[in-house]
Amino acid sequence: MIYSRALNEALHRALGEDARVVVLGEDISDPYGGAFKVSRGLTTAFPDRVKTTPVSEQAIAGISAGLALGGYRPIAEVMFGDFLSLCFDQLLNHITKYHAMYAGQVTCPVMFRAPMGGHRGYGPTHSQSIEKHFLGIPHLRVVAASPYHEPYDAFADFLAKDDPVLFVEHKLLYPKHITAPTDGRVGELLASHAGSEGVLPSVCLSLVPREECALTIVAYGYEALLAASVVEKLGMEDELFCELVVPAQIAPVDFAPIDASVSATRRLLTVEEGTAGWSWGDRVAASIQRSHFGRLAKPVEVLASQPTVIPGARRLEQEMLVGAHHIEQKIREALS
Amino acid sequence: MEAFQPDPRLFGRPADDLDARYYRRMRFIRRFEEKLLQLFEEGILAGTTHCSIGQEADAVAVMAHLEPGDHAFSNHRCHGHYLARTGDALGLYAEIMGKDAGVCRGIGGSQHICAPGFKSNGIQGGIVPTAAGIAWAQKLSKSNDVSVVFIGDGTLGEGAVYETLNIAQLWSLPLWIVLEDNGWSQSTPLAANFAGDMRMRFEAFGLPVSEIESTDVKAIDEVVAADVARVRETRTPHVTILHTYRLCNHSKSSDARPEEEVKARWATEPLVIHAPRLDGGAREAIDADVESALDEVIEHARALP
């Protein structure tokens, strides 16, 4: 099943099974069903608890906060992740504060769903992966959609816990088929789940067993899909073997699966589509270099997009955003 | 958890007549904040605080009409609202003193207070959509509760307010916005901050507005009693504009308002207006009650770990 369809079914299921769930966002009413059609059918099936909103991101975020304080489980669709900047005050100064600043008297479990990412020619303000600006906000969990994780699991995790979540969905995943590990494989790749108790598990992918891999790659979202294709290609064609670790939760980082893999490979490359500098990979690199100090064969490499605006022209965008060719080049350098 | 029982010397008894109860509660808030400012001068409190001296009638009148299930969201200037809602002097003193017995265990401090049916936050405007979300939750739960949010004239500069006005009216939310216009946004007079007509800003969204320029708790009481009843019955939003005046500084330090202007306003502050409705003996008894109760609370709070 393609990702957007699975996401849509997951929303139907969450609303159907849990009367606390409320969905709101811009242009989500039927028949349109949201800019990426992920919310299709929801206003028809649950008219009381699903509402299309005016173009008012601050209010969407603030009303979600109030719903959560009032005992509901709002899931807010932010039409383009870029627009999360307009929700930032609510996220930083309200939603993630309430539980702690009121000494645990209340919880404020809001989930934001945010379509991110480029490679589609949408230009500077509709293509970004701005999640790095939300990493490290105390009491916020950031979870990334991936082709190897069922989307409902992210909702179940949100509904089972009491903290706010930012769910980042790369737009290019919407038309892709979900290939969660089955029987220890994803296509040609060996696949396993790994992670700490209580955290959404990471998926580990490799062509050969970990002990034969010379490099760990950690990537999330659409970049994980690109990285997996490169891992398979380089293994098949050049016998360059890597293990790819794909987390679902990207903040706080569950280091256990990365640690385990790097312990075997002694090399790490991080890959993300967000811009370079103060990035997710920088944070992962700092921790791994500290915990594996003296045992790494090479410094950790961080691959991120160029720190500039995302051009509208496709030929320029392809150079600026991390693509498969950039990942391949970095892997070859790391293993040279 | 047992419901908090306020000290009758601060909050009154059910048998009290309305004039006496309102006088007592306003006197309680006034003296609480005056003593708080003294504690700052004494140097035992850190940070800052925003007092509401001169605006006590708003808090007392509004809170008198809330039911236990209602929710009040307040702002940086929240002491009066909190005390009028809960009567909890010890919890608030201890909170501002940073004690573990504080209502938020010392984490929230002066501006970030939480109790059943009450919250405050120190960011301008952001509490308005949150109060609307609470109103939507009340509506989804099919209760008769209302969600009230206090804003000031300065908050009318924040865009989140207008996003929320539109949605509250569009979705018929039981949201009651109480605007305390005290004429000054910190050190900036309304005229330097505000274009157009205050009432029309709300009416443009189709919201009904009541408006009163008064520091008389009984006059305000009459207006807000009708307004909250309307929100409760119709499950639709309403705005109440209370034109008032802040006699104290915005926060701890001077905000450079004209001395003559402030001085003139002391002649029409809520206690001066309301006190003549009580006979001298009753008034003195209440003053003595409030004084002794607050001094005990402060002594208790000082001794807390």
Res. B4: pLDDT tops 90: no
Contact A223, A171 (CB under 8 A): no
The residue of A56, A63, A99 whose CB has the most chain B CBs within 10 angstroms, and thus the best one to mutate to test that interface, is A63
Whether residue A139 lies in the annotated active site: no
Q: What gap in Å lies between CA B139 and CA B116, rounded to an integer?
A: 18
The answer to whether A313 contacts chain B (CB < 8 Å) is: no
Residues in chain A within 8 Å Cβ distance of B111 = none
Within 10 angstroms of residue B32's Cβ, the number of other Cβ atoms is 24
Within 10 angstroms of residue B232's Cβ, the number of other Cβ atoms is 18
Q: What gap in Å lies between CA A145 and CA A138, rounded to an integer?
A: 21
Question: Which of A99, A119, A126, A170 is flagged as catalytic?
Answer: A126
The predicted model gives A278-305 an average pLDDT of: 98
Residues in chain B within 8 Å Cβ distance of A94 = 121, 123, 126-127, 130
Q: For the segment A213-236, what is each residue's pLDDT rounded down to a tens digit?
A: 999 999 999 999 999 999 999 999
Task: Please name the fold of domain B47-156+165-189+200-299.
Answer: Rossmann fold (3.40.50)
Q: What gap in Å lies between CA A108 and CA B127, rounded to an integer?
A: 14
Q: What gap in Å lies between CA A77 and CA A72, rounded to an integer?
A: 16
The pair of three-digit structure tokens given for residue A92, joined into one six-digit string? 């930083």
Instruction: Determine whether the interchain pair B119/A97 forms a contact, defined as Cβ–Cβ distance below 8 Å.
Output: no
Residues in chain B within 8 Å Cβ distance of A98 = 114, 119
- Name every residue whose Cβ is closer than 8 Å to that of residue B68 and which is 6 or more positions away in sequence: B116, B117
Instruction: Determine whether the interchain pair B163/A90 forms a contact, defined as Cβ–Cβ distance below 8 Å.
Output: no
Res. A23: pLDDT tops 50: yes
Q: What gap in Å lies between CA A282 and CA A307, rounded to an integer?
A: 14
The answer to whether A106 contacts chain B (CB < 8 Å) is: yes
Instruction: Determine whether the interchain pair B164/A69 forms a contact, defined as Cβ–Cβ distance below 8 Å.
Output: no
The pair of three-digit structure tokens given for residue A8, joined into one six-digit string? 């849509």
Q: Which pLDDT does position B255 carry in this prediction?
A: 82
Between helix A151-160 and helix A3-17 the angle, nearest 10°, is 30
Q: For the segment B241-299, what is each residue's pLDDT rounded down to a tens digit?
A: 999 999 999 888 788 899 999 999 999 999 999 999 999 999 999 999 999 999 999 99
Work out the mean pLDDT of chain A and round it to a whole number. Answer: 98
Instruction: Determine whether the interchain pair A66/B129 forms a contact, defined as Cβ–Cβ distance below 8 Å.
Output: yes
The predicted model gives B170-192 an average pLDDT of: 96
Q: If you count residue pairs, one on A and one on B, with CB atoms under 8 Å apart, how many are there?
A: 118
Contact B176, B237 (CB under 8 A): yes
- Name every residue whose Cβ is closer than 8 Å to that of residue A316 and which is 6 or more positions away in sequence: none
User: Which residues of B sit within 8 Å Cβ distance of A?
Assistant: 71, 104-105, 107-108, 112, 114-115, 119, 121, 123, 126-138, 140-141, 147, 159-160, 163-164, 166-167, 170-171
The predicted model gives A318-333 an average pLDDT of: 97
Q: For the segment A252-269, what is each residue's pLDDT rounded down to a tens digit?
A: 999 999 999 999 999 999
- Name every residue whose Cβ is closer than 8 Å to that of residue A196 and which is 6 or more positions away in sequence: A254, A256
How far away is chain B from the Cα of A28, in angstroms, using its nearest Cα?
Answer: 16
Residues in chain A within 8 Å Cβ distance of B164 = 56, 59, 62-63
Contact A224, A147 (CB under 8 A): yes
Instruction: Determine whether the interchain pair A93/B138 forms a contact, defined as Cβ–Cβ distance below 8 Å.
Output: no
Res. B3: pLDDT tops 80: no
CA atoms within 13 A on the CB side of B154: 15
Q: Domains along chain A?
A: 3-173 (3.40.50.970), 185-334 (3.40.50.920)
Q: Which pLDDT does position B292 carry in this prediction?
A: 98
Work out the mean pLDDT of chain B and round it to a whole number. Answer: 96
Q: For the segment B127-156, what is each residue's pLDDT rounded down to a tens digit?
A: 999 999 999 999 999 999 999 999 999 999
- DSSP at B218: H
Helix (H) or strand (E) holding A89: helix A88-89
The residues that bridge with A165 in the sheet, in sequence order, are A111, A141
The pair of three-digit structure tokens given for residue A123, joined into one six-digit string? 């230009």
Reported ipTM: the value is 0.96
Res. B1: pLDDT tops 50: no
Residues in chain B within 8 Å Cβ distance of A71 = 137, 141
